[in-house]
Structure 1
Amino acid sequence: MAYSQEISRDQRGAFIFLVDQSKSMNTTFGVDDNGQTISRAQVVADALNRTLDELINRCMRDEGVRDYFDIGVIGYGRTNRAEFCWLGNLAGRTLVPISEVAENAETIEEETTTMVRGQPVVERVAVSRWVAPVAVESTPMNGALRLAQSILEPWISANPGSFPPAVINITDGMANDVDSDEELLATARRLTGLKTNDGHVLLMNCHISGGDDAPVVFPSSAGQLPDDTYARLLFEMSSELSGRHRAIICELFERDLKTTPTLRGMAFNADAVALVKLLDIGTRPAIVFNQAAEASSRDRTTEFEQ
């Protein structure tokens, strides 16, 4: 297991987010900052839009957003098949360079309530978004995994030396486009069987519920999960995380790194907090920019311009 390649514009990374858009995603998932009930679909869309905004900020330099990453968002459940679900000018696109993601945000205004000297103050703030909350049909998760594989195969061929792509799947239920758990597991393993010179594709699964059961986040063994067949299936589908991930997780969750030899990229019974943590950690370890490579790239550009 390598996962040591640093990111540069010549060795870019890739993230694909898979978003469950089935009818059950309309279930209430909690309340927002204004005390209004909010659906699972809305919580996921908000968290994903914030994650994309954060990735853009990490890639921002004096001259603008550098193309350190290609990004894709696949929705499954709006229809009976998986499809990329970008909004606006990006509609119909698949993997998109992050500079183009930055240039094509939809901006909406939202009300937010803050406390000032003990009094609630309502403000309107501009929010960027690239995906919308959707909760319509069934759960063709198998198709989403297959679509991600079909997109990443040519990407890896074009970027063989890059940090491996990460696929983050957010769902509230079981796939209904397979005949058995074994079929879904086989699809997941074909996806994670893809690899760059630096390691295999990483698949992380986040099962959201908002129920009373405590979330299980980044388990080191299946024994830490509830006695639930679906939980065990997601564990088997999920990648063993890299040393970079493990170090970050152990620090944030106050776990002993020495006694935590392995961790799986998954969360089960996740609430909104666990979802945000998985998205943050899932996208963070690849953000190790190769300053030497960037300096070399700038030198080559300067020589060309001269």
Structure 2
Amino acid sequence: MYTAEINRRRPACLLLLIDQSFSMSEPWGTEGHSKAEALMASVNRLLGNAVIQCSKGSNKILDYFEVGVIGYGADVQFALHGTSIDRPLLPISEVAAGPLRVDEVLQKESDGAGGIIQVSRSFPVWVDPVTNGPTPMVEALRIAEGVLSAWCAEHLTSFPPIVINLTDGVSTDGDPRVAADKIRAVRTDDGPALMFNVHLSSAVVNEIVLPNAADTLPDDYAAMLFSMSSELPVQMAEAAAGLGYKVQPGTRGFLYNAKATSVIEFLDIGTRPINPGGFPELPPA
């Protein structure tokens, strides 16, 4: 399992589920940004990195994978610019060609003589932060399962879909475990879909990164998210170990009370099969 070569004939699928509830307006970390703002910066950076990784001369983008974003808050919506209920996933070449906008941001860089200068950089934006309403996670998972089932039916020989659910709260429309089980039951000939979960926290508490057992977790909610998460395949486990994380047998793709820096690293780990060398690092926004 999880050994299918990823190419233009057999693309991979990445689907992000993003909590857009009101609580995502709370501050995250020490930079003064809300959870929604910081998370969207990370997601847009991931998409920008993906475009670079799939580029091959003369501005040609190779469609190694398709990507989608489902946001869930006041409603459940396809949040990636250019997607819709009729077309929930886009090949990466179309993502590259159609950002929502391109922001100009100032970044501090060395001037080569011991000083620091500010340089303007272009930063494509495909997803904006949204903070409104409850946390209808079950509905988001249900819609995701339908999207992935249709995709797998058309890509039976491809690497299984990768789903990353990023949330800061408890589902407000029921227990999400059954819906998560259905996602992990969707499969290609190369194995079942991989579902990972990232819990964000504004509390000053210790984070838990890539645990391998539920009995190490602090509460029932953490244990539930752990149970919804897939074990890391070999190439992801190796990527995590390469970043200095302790990886043990049974390690799952799950972060609890995650810090912003850990989420950025986890997005790299969780997409490593699509990009075996990892995404090239872009300057921070």
Q: Do they fold alike, i.e. is TM over 0.5?
A: yes
Q: 1:191 aligns with which of 183, 191, 198?
A: 183
2:83–2:90 Cα contact (<8 Å) kept:
no
Q: Structure 1's 161 and 38: CA in aligned 2 closer, same or farther, altered over 3 A?
A: same
1:278 aligns with 2:266: yes
TM-score by length of structure 1 reads: 0.84
The equivalent residue for 2:256 is: 268
Amino acid at match of 1:59: C
Distance in 2, Cα, partners of 1:95 & 1:11: 15
Shift of 1:217: 1.0
The equivalent residue for 2:27 is: 28
The equivalent residue for 1:44 is: 39
1:240 aligns with 2:231: yes
Query: Structure 2: which 5+ residue stretches go unaligned?
Result: 278-285
Distance in 1, Cα, partners of 2:115 & 2:132: 39
Q: How many residue pairs align between the two structures?
A: 272
TM-score by length of structure 2 reads: 0.90
The equivalent residue for 1:300 is: none
Specify the SS of the correspondent of 2:8: coil
The equivalent residue for 1:250 is: 241
Amino acid at match of 1:211: A
Distance in 2, Cα, partners of 1:38 & 1:286: 30
Distance in 1, Cα, partners of 2:65 & 2:20: 25
The equivalent residue for 1:55 is: 50
Distance in 2, Cα, partners of 1:91 & 1:197: 27
Q: 2:127 aligns with which of 131, 150, 173?
A: 131
When the two chains are superposed, the root-mean-square deviation of aligned CA atoms in Å is 1.8
Query: Structure 1: which 5+ residue stretches go unaligned?
Result: 290-306
1:17 aligns with 2:12: no
Shift of 1:115: 5.9
Q: Structure 1's 214 and 67: CA in aligned 2 closer, same or farther, altered over 3 A?
A: same
For residues 153-173 of structure 1, the C-alpha deviation after alignment (integer angstroms, 9 at most, x for no partner) is 111010001000000010000
Amino acid at match of 2:268: D
Distance in 2, Cα, partners of 1:10 & 1:16: 19
Structure (1 or 2) with the larger CA radius of gyration: 1
Distance in 1, Cα, partners of 2:220 & 2:201: 16
What is the percentage of aligned positions where both structures have the same residue?
Answer: 36
Amino acid at match of 1:103: A
The equivalent residue for 1:97 is: 91
Shift of 1:67: 0.6
Distance in 2, Cα, partners of 1:130 & 1:284: 21
The equivalent residue for 2:200 is: 208
2:65–2:274 Cα contact (<8 Å) kept:
no
Shift of 1:29: 0.9
The equivalent residue for 1:169 is: 165
The structure in which a higher percent of residues are helix is 1
Amino acid at match of 1:282: G
